[in-house]
Structure 1
Amino acid sequence: MDNAVAAKTRTATNHRTAAKSGAATKTRTAAASGTALLAGQEPTAGQDPPAGHSTTAEMAAHLSALLFDDSHHHSTHPNSHNTTHNSPSTCTRDGSSGDDSSSNGNSHGSDNGGSSSGSGDSSSGRGDGGDGGGHAHALWRQLVSRKEFTYTPGLDHTQRTAQSYQRLRLVNDLVDATALARDPARLAALHEWIGFADGGLCTLASIHYNLFLGSLIDHDNPDHPRDLTDYTTLRRTGTFLCTELDHGNDAAALETTAHHNPATGGFTLHTPTPGAAKFMPNTSTTGGPKTGLVAARLITHNQDHGVFLFLTPLSDENGLLPGITVTPLPPSNGPTIDHSLTTFHHVPLPREALLEADHGRLNPDGTLTTNLGNPRKRFLTSINRVTTGKLCMSAGCLGMARAALAIAVQYAHTRHTSGPRPGQRIPLAHHHTHHSRLLDKIATAYALTFLHRTTLTQYLNHTHENRTQTERHIAITKAFITWQARDITTESRERCGAQGLFPHNGIADLTHNIEGGITAEGDNLVIWTKAAAEMILHHTPQPTH
């Protein structure tokens, strides 16, 4: 992995053509402007450039053009519409951050539900552009530049959670929710932008569009299609209840049961032990009525068929439904949402609550028809949307890292300190000990971006034969990107000094939110250990001579 990233870093520094057309002429966002300054603009009169300025500027210009060019990304943090000389967050949000109409013809003000992958076919899951399409990025850039995404000080945990749900509705107003759920590239693009804008929103969007709505779509029966209108219009928000208090990384061993009732054809959902409480889904009444996909053991005729998903209404306009208990968890240092413990006491569900596909279909007599004899494989098939979730978590954390760098680089040019001559004031960026650390992280951010783009494209074009290998690569990539993003954000925050400690300046909360990405969709160390074991077990030794 280190060699692959190093190779991608070398590639980043060789894009001279992109650099010449990029940072110097297309730095309309404040974040891009900050990096352009680091990339070699002349110091103000009376200030000495740092040693090795031209070499450093050349390298940084190549990197800056690729990340902050209009045709790629603008990583402006949305919270920074107030400009102060000594604040790292000096970006504007008044619409002056860029003219989308000039972004290579790819920018549109609405999402028409078509392919977001260049020439790719969204309906087939194929695409040749792993960046989610230029217009998708422009759409989300416009969204997070709106006044509704301005940082609001003084909110408590519940109020901030409610704000994230309100912003989820702003996202939903712009998209065809079904098309978004079907398109991994567009989902990733969404997470790249809302991740740094609102960590709670990033988590809610990942759960609703990918884990919940995506799973419903993947298990759809063409002969009896579900009506998804309540979820695509957000009359009901979707959530996902899989892991339990006693079963996190060993979720295949979870205890929640769904007993089949031969008389009605339906099921009884039940939490048999305290350790089987669902931990830690967003199931409170904050944000309005909710429906969950609950992972539970399918029991028919006293036979355990393994874990399947069950569509379960949790609340309505009057509160929680009978038999459902939700206990709020204490606020965490990660994304601010309504994490809770959730239990079920003999909750009746209709026959259609069971999500079925080729890996498991229940016959009227209570027997199971399946193309997978292994219960664990059936479980992994049921929750397969976790794979796309890993791509989304990687994208969200990558966007946070880029935003942190943009803020830190710009602040390095607006914060001045004493120079080597009496009375001289120079930007912090002129100190090698300051800008070299940021340049190192910029190079890493580009390498991670190329890695994510490549991994996403591989997933869009995977085949049945290489699916397992592709999913393993996604897991490895998720862990590597989120760990590196944490390092980048920590360094960027430190380079902002005391100003970096204030959430209003757009950088203080990013590291905490990345911590959530490190744990979400599989703890990093666990999924790396699993991937390593698979690589060893499936390794074919080369013949020796």
Structure 2
Amino acid sequence: MTSAAAAELSRLLFDGRYEQVHEDIRELLLDPVFDAREGLTMTEAGQLAYRRSRFVHAGLERPLEVLRDPWRLFALAEWPSLLDVSTFSLLMVHYNLCFGTVVEHGDRPDLKDLVDELDRLDSFGPYMATELGYGNNVAALRTEAVYDAGTQTFVLNTPDALAQKFMSYSGFQDVPKLAVVMARLKADGKDHGVFPFLVRISDGDGLCEGVHAAACPEKPVQGLDNGVTWFDHVRVPRRQLLHGDMGGFAEDGTFRPSSGNRRKRFLRAMSRILPGRLCVSSAAVGAGRASVYVALRYAAQRLTNAPGRNDLPVVEYRSHQLALFTALAKVYAMTLLLNHAKRAYVAQRDAVPAELNHLISITKALSTWEMTDVVATARERCGAQGIFSANRIADYGSLLQGLVTAEGDNQVLLATTAGQIIAQDPEQPPQAAPDPRGEDLRDPAFLLAALRHREQELLRAAREAVADDSRERTYFEAWNGTMNTGLAMARLRGVRTALECFTRAVDEAQDGRVREALGLLASLYGLTEVQRDAGWYLARGVLTAEQVERLPEALDALCALVRPHAETLIGGFRLSPELLRAPIAADDYVDAFQQRTGAFGPVGDQTPTGS
């Protein structure tokens, strides 16, 4: 691999921003504070995550400056999870959800002391929205904040068990915490809907008066202090209502919400969820890249017995290539799709149109689902070595399980997006299916045309099914009957957009070797997606029977062509054995594993320790 090729790939993967946005965050991870610590209890692992979070905070500009530059926020989401899943979670909740909400809706002179406290990380900022009985239905939450005009305070209270705040960080009661709590604002006998409040949860000596918490059961890998939290008539000063432009108090002391309906005010209050979805996707693709990097480096060294020889690296097997090169193609596709969504958000974050909301939601769902598959594949292809936390991939599996449901459960998020697309997208005239005769199955233009046709047909079918008034149905019954078609359409919109981004990256590549490698990988990604629904394409005349039969052969042939480029393609990830500290990613994995376990000593020394 040439340094020029690696630099070119890094430029494309990090959207030309690696040095300005990513490099210093990556360098922080080389510090010994991120060295592996084995044998920790879950509590000790959680406490270490808090120390590591403070270390990262101290090494960067203040959170307030990070929030002003979304690219920095996204980069902060991408790197720490490679070495500590829990540190990523703490940083993202504090920087984006809690502090982001405070800055966006409470950046006022009378709150400066609390803003500065969070900015200095004197207190960590949990975010308390989800309730035990409501899951994703945050708009229906029941924690209430009743205004007492006589004392100019809100009385924050949890009315029943279903309304307990769920999963937020309240277990470590010796850590000072200042939380954003989403609660139903009641004043003058009226329910004004859900608003954010800034509430002191703990002061370092324990939970504050009226605040109660119980630890959630242990989770694998993520040793954080997730808890169930409830409030017993906690007094919250009026100034700590983060009303922003959603309302305010009049001179006579009455609360007046802004114009518009409750739903719009609620969505405004939850505005940090949108960049949060891009942060979640950033962590997911970072984990996917690291998983493929580790798995391919190991595969290049792991010797196997093959017909006629006993020293063949496992990466030379076509079955191994199909699994890992397909994973590599997905990693590139999701990285490029995510870059596209980030650029669109940064350009329009002050007024997010529906199309951008759809793009971000689809990107979050597709990238976390795809990277879940990538991590699982990489772990499996590494055999027993993939199980050890030291080799990172197993921990990434736990991370992805959380990301799939973070900032909106994928299934719910994609179904909501599909419903909006079906209702809002302008009608388009039906287009003829692309003619497959004489087409090269590796041609990205043909693959794009096929994907685009299926997306349009699924959208048309879903619209017709919802609009069908030939029988009596409620709207829910109509939507429920076509929901899976809508989900398939929304997912395919993401796939199609990702392949479009992939082909643009191929065109933009200036290095000939990089252009060739990316082109092959784009074809592999597109062809894998077409194979996924080969029966549909055959039935609609988009593929011939002969082409369908040749799909496995075409994929194998692409893998053979990708093989010489594999090292080049992972070279742009800006990863290294020194950064990941994964023994099987080392230049000599046997020696690294020996050193980690203290087994026989250095390679070549056959004398067991103690003999």
TM-score bracket for this pair, using the shorter chain length: 0.7 to 0.9
- Tell me whether 1:374 sits opposite 2:252 in the alignment: no
CA–CA distance in 2 between the matches of 1:321 and 1:225? 19
Structure 1 residue 469, shift from structure 2 partner: 2.2
Equivalent position of 2:247 in the other structure: 360
The one-letter amino acid of 1:482's match is: T
CA–CA distance in 2 between the matches of 1:235 and 1:403? 32
CA–CA distance in 1 between the matches of 2:346 and 2:256? 30
CA–CA distance in 2 between the matches of 1:131 and 1:241? 36
Offset from partner CA, 1:433-470 (integer Å, 9 cap, x none)? 11232111111111111000000000000166653321
Offset from partner CA, 1:324-369 (integer Å, 9 cap, x none)? 1010000124633111000000000111110021122232445333
Using a 3 Å threshold, how does the CA distance of structure 1 residues 314 and 257 change in structure 2: closer, same or farther? same
Equivalent position of 1:171 in the other structure: 56
Which of residues 429, 434, 453 in structure 1 aligns to 2:320?
434
SS at match of 1:384: coil
- Tell me whether 1:449 sits opposite 2:449 in the alignment: no
Equivalent position of 1:271 in the other structure: 158
Equivalent position of 1:536 in the other structure: 422
Any residues of structure 2 matched to 1:404-443 within 5 Å, and which?
Answer: 404-422=291-309, 424-443=310-329
* Alignment gaps of 5+ in structure 2: 432-611
Equivalent position of 1:487 in the other structure: 373
- Tell me whether 1:158 sits opposite 2:43 in the alignment: yes
Any residues of structure 2 matched to 1:200-219 within 5 Å, and which?
Answer: 200-219=86-105
Offset from partner CA, 1:461-519 (integer Å, 9 cap, x none)? 01666533212211110000000000000000011001111111111111111110011
Which of residues 22, 25, 36 in structure 2 aligns to 1:137?
22
Using a 3 Å threshold, how does the CA distance of structure 1 residues 372 and 319 change in structure 2: closer, same or farther? same
SS at match of 1:284: coil
> Any conservation in 1 of the 2:110–2:239 contact (CA below 8 Å)?
no
> Any conservation in 1 of the 2:147–2:186 contact (CA below 8 Å)?
yes
> Any conservation in 2 of the 1:335–1:516 contact (CA below 8 Å)?
no
> Any conservation in 2 of the 1:162–1:286 contact (CA below 8 Å)?
no
SS at match of 1:320: coil
My pick for the range that moved more, 431-440 or 344-353, is 431-440
SS at match of 2:323: helix
Using a 3 Å threshold, how does the CA distance of structure 1 residues 278 and 544 change in structure 2: closer, same or farther? closer
Any residues of structure 2 matched to 1:193-272 within 5 Å, and which?
Answer: 193-222=79-108, 224=110, 226-227=112-113, 228-272=115-159
- Tell me whether 1:305 sits opposite 2:283 in the alignment: no
CA–CA distance in 1 between the matches of 2:407 and 2:8? 29
Equivalent position of 1:472 in the other structure: 358
CA–CA distance in 1 between the matches of 2:334 and 2:92? 21
The one-letter amino acid of 2:323's match is: R
Offset from partner CA, 1:230-288 (integer Å, 9 cap, x none)? 21221111110001011111110100010101112211100011110000101122672
> Any conservation in 2 of the 1:297–1:305 contact (CA below 8 Å)?
yes
Any residues of structure 2 matched to 1:41-120 within 5 Å, and which?
Answer: 67=9, 69=10, 71=11
CA RMSD between the two structures: 2.1
Higher-Rg structure is 2
CA–CA distance in 1 between the matches of 2:63 and 2:407? 21
The one-letter amino acid of 2:112's match is: R
Which of residues 142, 149, 172 in structure 1 aligns to 2:34?
149
CA–CA distance in 2 between the matches of 1:421 and 1:403? 34
Using a 3 Å threshold, how does the CA distance of structure 1 residues 504 and 463 change in structure 2: closer, same or farther? closer
Offset from partner CA, 1:97-121 (integer Å, 9 cap, x none)? xxxxxxxxxxxxxxxxxxxxxxxxx
Equivalent position of 1:24 in the other structure: 2
Equivalent position of 2:283 in the other structure: 396
* Alignment gaps of 5+ in structure 1: 1-22, 27-61, 74-128
Equivalent position of 2:441 in the other structure: none
The one-letter amino acid of 1:444's match is: K
Offset from partner CA, 1:188-240 (integer Å, 9 cap, x none)? 11111112211111111110000011111101345545232221221111110
> Any conservation in 2 of the 1:259–1:300 contact (CA below 8 Å)?
yes
> Any conservation in 1 of the 2:174–2:206 contact (CA below 8 Å)?
no
Equivalent position of 2:394 in the other structure: 508
Runs of 4+ aligned structure 1 residues displaced above 6 Å come to: none
Structure 1 residue 533, shift from structure 2 partner: 1.0
- TM-score, normalised via structure 2 length: 0.67
Structure 1 residue 169, shift from structure 2 partner: 0.6
SS at match of 2:3: coil
CA–CA distance in 2 between the matches of 1:266 and 1:280? 27
Offset from partner CA, 1:156-182 (integer Å, 9 cap, x none)? 111111111111011101222211123
- Tell me whether 1:331 sits opposite 2:218 in the alignment: yes
The one-letter amino acid of 1:540's match is: P
Using a 3 Å threshold, how does the CA distance of structure 1 residues 448 and 151 change in structure 2: closer, same or farther? same
Using a 3 Å threshold, how does the CA distance of structure 1 residues 408 and 356 change in structure 2: closer, same or farther? same
The one-letter amino acid of 2:57's match is: N
Using a 3 Å threshold, how does the CA distance of structure 1 residues 343 and 408 change in structure 2: closer, same or farther? same
Using a 3 Å threshold, how does the CA distance of structure 1 residues 223 and 155 change in structure 2: closer, same or farther? closer
Q: How many residues align?
A: 429
User: Looking at both structures, which has the greater relative contact order when contacts are Cα pairs under 8 Å and sequence separation is at least 6?
Assistant: 1
Structure 1 residue 540, shift from structure 2 partner: 2.5
CA–CA distance in 2 between the matches of 1:225 and 1:325? 25
SS at match of 1:403: helix
Equivalent position of 1:294 in the other structure: 181
> Any conservation in 1 of the 2:96–2:272 contact (CA below 8 Å)?
yes
> Any conservation in 1 of the 2:372–2:401 contact (CA below 8 Å)?
yes
> Any conservation in 1 of the 2:284–2:403 contact (CA below 8 Å)?
yes
SS at match of 1:249: coil
CA–CA distance in 2 between the matches of 1:499 and 1:455? 35
CA–CA distance in 1 between the matches of 2:226 and 2:203? 18
> Any conservation in 2 of the 1:207–1:240 contact (CA below 8 Å)?
yes
Using a 3 Å threshold, how does the CA distance of structure 1 residues 138 and 503 change in structure 2: closer, same or farther? same
Using a 3 Å threshold, how does the CA distance of structure 1 residues 66 and 393 change in structure 2: closer, same or farther? farther
Using a 3 Å threshold, how does the CA distance of structure 1 residues 170 and 465 change in structure 2: closer, same or farther? closer
CA–CA distance in 2 between the matches of 1:133 and 1:287? 37
SS at match of 1:520: coil
Offset from partner CA, 1:111-144 (integer Å, 9 cap, x none)? xxxxxxxxxxxxxxxxxx9665523211121111
CA–CA distance in 2 between the matches of 1:224 and 1:467? 32
My pick for the range that moved more, 292-301 or 136-145, is 136-145
> How many percent of aligned residue pairs carry the same amino acid?
34
> Any conservation in 1 of the 2:173–2:207 contact (CA below 8 Å)?
no
CA–CA distance in 1 between the matches of 2:263 and 2:182? 13
- TM-score, normalised via structure 1 length: 0.75
Offset from partner CA, 1:74-117 (integer Å, 9 cap, x none)? xxxxxxxxxxxxxxxxxxxxxxxxxxxxxxxxxxxxxxxxxxxx
CA–CA distance in 1 between the matches of 2:175 and 2:378? 37
Which of residues 347, 353, 362 in structure 2 aligns to 1:461?
347
Which of residues 396, 407, 412 in structure 2 aligns to 1:521?
407
CA–CA distance in 2 between the matches of 1:294 and 1:465? 25
SS at match of 1:509: helix
Using a 3 Å threshold, how does the CA distance of structure 1 residues 526 and 66 change in structure 2: closer, same or farther? farther
> Any conservation in 1 of the 2:142–2:183 contact (CA below 8 Å)?
yes
